[in-house]
């Protein structure tokens, strides 16, 4: 045998090597790898395989994940992080009452300092619970400086994603009819668009945290402002975001004013498409489902808030079958209460089983796919699956705790028994932003302390007199 025949390839270099964990790849070619290995170089996954792969790499840091599940990061497609200081307020109000009597007064009263405290708290909670990407529909204190500040906070915590700047414009007939406070409709459409334009230019397409237009709600935002928002988004190559038909009466309310149901109107005006990310879509009819699917529009399914308000059950399988992209949304902390997409996965399955009285109506593997691959499709990013070349957005879950024993099916265990507090490590773009269940980027005790200090005064200001 010649010396050349006896030579072996030198190990490849990588930044990070995760070894020994149960790897849920979301890759149909190798969905579960026991005692698996994930190699990370830069912001991408260099390789995924079984234990033999470990010898192929020389890592700057090797982390044993024995007794843990390694999985794609969770992707949030609809949130309102500025609402975190209002958690547990507004109890027992219906959808329109919740808006008129609680949420819009809260939004009008919150200051920039309180917004900062609230967003830090919500974003911290999200990363600790395994969220790697978020769409934050930000309104309330939403001037240029505050909106850009919010984007900076998300980036400081280590997240990727986008801020959809909420735009209300002037008060419409529907907003008056539903008793939404006049103080929430203070800017003209031109002013709203000008502020959003400046925000987009400060955080353009390709930024780790982009900013995009977010007209507030298809039911009560002026339709000309919605159309102009979409035009603005497309001129910059970014997405746009709004609430669509969450409460049952929204479609009829809209139709009385405009002659069509909301999604049909959007479709007839050329506003749907892969750049449209629509929250809830609970009450859409067959024509609207077909339009959303044909245009490959994206929908955020928000099970927890739909239970809480309650809004109802989104036609998940009809939308997916029609061709729409569907991801999960945790919604704001005032109607979702926790930044925990694990909880939303579990509730997604239970919601559709209860609604159909059929245990086959939804499954754990489907919920996990919606929270990862589905969310990546909504955001248009190369994530949601652990495979070579994909973004290294990875979560490690500690499954040594009693509620995971025994773990016959790791996918079912993640969906039905895992909680956000079980996350041991969160990696975004190859950087460890949570380790040992604590943020590596901010003083989380100080964040919580600041939020507690700010919340009481805000709650007192919005208390009914």
- Tell me the domain boundaries of the chain: 10-72+384-438, 74-379
Residues linked to residue 72 through DSSP beta bridges, in sequence order: 394
Which tokens hold the place of 440?
């590596």
Closest CA to 346 of 301, 307, 303, 284: 303
What pLDDT, on a 0 to 100 scale, did the predictor assign at position 465?
A: 67
Contact 249, 274 (CB under 8 A): no
Spatial neighbors of 135 by CB under 8 A, at least 6 apart, are 76, 77, 78, 79, 161, 162, 164, 241, 277, 300, 329, 378, 379
Question: What do you get for the CA distance between the two ends of the chain, in Å?
Answer: 91
pLDDT at 425: 98
Residue-wise DSSP of 203-261: S-TTSSEEEEEEESBTTTS-HHHHHHHHHHHHHHT--EEEEES-STTHHHHHHHHHSS-
Token readout for 117 is: 């405290």
| Amino acid 464: pLDDT | 77
Percentage of the chain beyond pLDDT 90 is 91
Q: At what angle do helices 112-128 and 444-461 cross, to 10 degrees?
A: 130
pLDDT for res 288: 98
CATH number for domain 74-379, candidates 3.30.420.40, 3.40.50.300, 3.40.50.2300, 3.20.20.140: 3.20.20.140
Torsion-angle region of 312 (φ positive above 0: left; ψ -120 to 50: alpha; else: beta): left
Q: Which residues contact 177 (CB under 8 A, 6 or more apart)?
A: 253
By the 8 A CB rule, do 451 and 86 touch? no
Q: Cα separation of 208 and 444, whole Å?
A: 22
Residues 247-282 as b/e (b if ≥16 CB within 10 A, e otherwise) read beebbebbeeeeebbbbbbbbeeebbbebbbbbbbb
Around Cβ 157, how many Cβ atoms within 10 Å?
A: 28
Assess contact for 113 and 80: CB atoms under 8 A. no
CA dihedral 422, 382, 206, 167 (to 10 degrees): -60
pTM of the model: 0.96
| DSSP-assigned states of every residue in 43-87 | TEEEEEESGGGGGGEEEEEEEE-TTEEEEEPEEEEEE-GGGGGGT
Q: Which regions in the chain score pLDDT beneath 50?
A: 1-7
Contact between 26 and 368 under an 8 Å Cβ cutoff? The reply is yes
CA distance 439 to 124: 8
Phi, psi for residue 246 in degrees, rounded to 5: -75, -60
* pLDDT tens string 15-46: 999 999 999 999 999 999 999 999 999 999 99
CATH of domain 10-72+384-438: 2.30.40.10
Are the beta carbons of 273 and 240 closer than 8 angstroms? no
Peptide bond before residue 406 is cis, with ω within 30 degrees of 0: yes
Q: Contact 386/394 with Cβ under 8 angstroms?
A: yes
In the prediction, which pLDDT does 184 show? 85
d(CA 199, CA 277): 19
Q: What secondary structure does DSSP assign to 258-299, as a single string? A: HSS-HHHHHHHTT--STTEEEEE--S--HHHHHHHHHTT-EE
How many other CB atoms sit within 10 Å of the CB of residue 195? 18
């Amino acid at each position: 045998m010649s010396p050349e025949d006896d030579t072996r390839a030198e190990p490849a270099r990588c930044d990070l090597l995760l070894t020994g964990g149960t790897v849920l790849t979301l890759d149909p070619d190798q969905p579960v790898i026991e005692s698996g290995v994930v190699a990370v170089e830069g912001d991408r996954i260099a390789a995924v395989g079984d234990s033999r792969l470990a010898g192929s790499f020389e890592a700057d840091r090797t982390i044993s994940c024995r007794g843990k599940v390694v999985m794609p990061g969770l992707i949030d497609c609809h949130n309102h992080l500025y609402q975190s200081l209002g958690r547990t307020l507004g109890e027992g109000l219906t959808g329109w009452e919740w808006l008129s009597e609680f949420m819009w007064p809260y939004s009008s009263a919150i200051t920039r300092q309180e917004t900062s405290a609230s967003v830090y708290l919500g974003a911290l909670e999200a990363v600790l619970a395994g969220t790697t990407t978020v769409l934050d529909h930000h309104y309330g204190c939403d001037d240029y400086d505050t909106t850009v500040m919010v984007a900076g906070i998300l980036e400081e915590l280590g997240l990727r994603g986008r801020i959809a700047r909420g735009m209300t414009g002037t008060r419409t007939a529907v907003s008056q009819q539903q008793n939404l406070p006049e103080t929430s409709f203070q800017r003209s459409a031109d002013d709203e668009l000008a502020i959003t334009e400046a925000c987009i230019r400060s955080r353009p397409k390709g930024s780790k945290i982009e900013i995009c237009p977010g007209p507030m709600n298809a039911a009560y935002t002026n339709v000309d402002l919605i159309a102009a928002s979409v035009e603005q988004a497309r001129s910059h190559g970014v997405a746009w975001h709004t609430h669509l038909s969450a409460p049952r009466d929204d479609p009829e309310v809209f139709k009385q004013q405009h002659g069509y149901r909301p999604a049909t109107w959007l479709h007839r005006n050329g506003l749907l498409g892969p750049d449209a990310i629509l929250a809830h879509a609970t009450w859409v009819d067959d024509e609207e489902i077909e339009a959303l699917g044909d245009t490959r529009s994206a929908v955020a399914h928000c099970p927890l808030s739909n239970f809480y308000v309650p809004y109802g059950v989104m036609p998940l399988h009809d939308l997916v079958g029609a061709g729409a992209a569907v991801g999960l949304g945790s919604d704001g902390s005032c109607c979702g209460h926790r930044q925990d997409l694990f909880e939303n996965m579990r509730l997604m399955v239970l919601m559709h089983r209860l609604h159909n009285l059929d245990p086959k109506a939804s499954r754990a593997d489907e919920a996990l796919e919606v929270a990862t691959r589905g969310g990546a499709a909504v955001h248009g990013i190369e994530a949601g699956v652990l495979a070579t070349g994909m973004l290294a957005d990875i979560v490690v879950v500690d499954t040594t705790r009693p509620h995971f024993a025994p773990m016959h099916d790791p996918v079912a265990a993640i969906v039905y028994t895992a909680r956000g507090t079980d996350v041991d490590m969160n990696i975004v773009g190859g950087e460890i932003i949570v380790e040992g269940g604590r943020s590596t980027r901010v003083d989380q005790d100080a964040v919580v302390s600041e939020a507690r200090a700010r919340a009481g005064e805000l709650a007192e200001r919005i208390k009914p007199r």
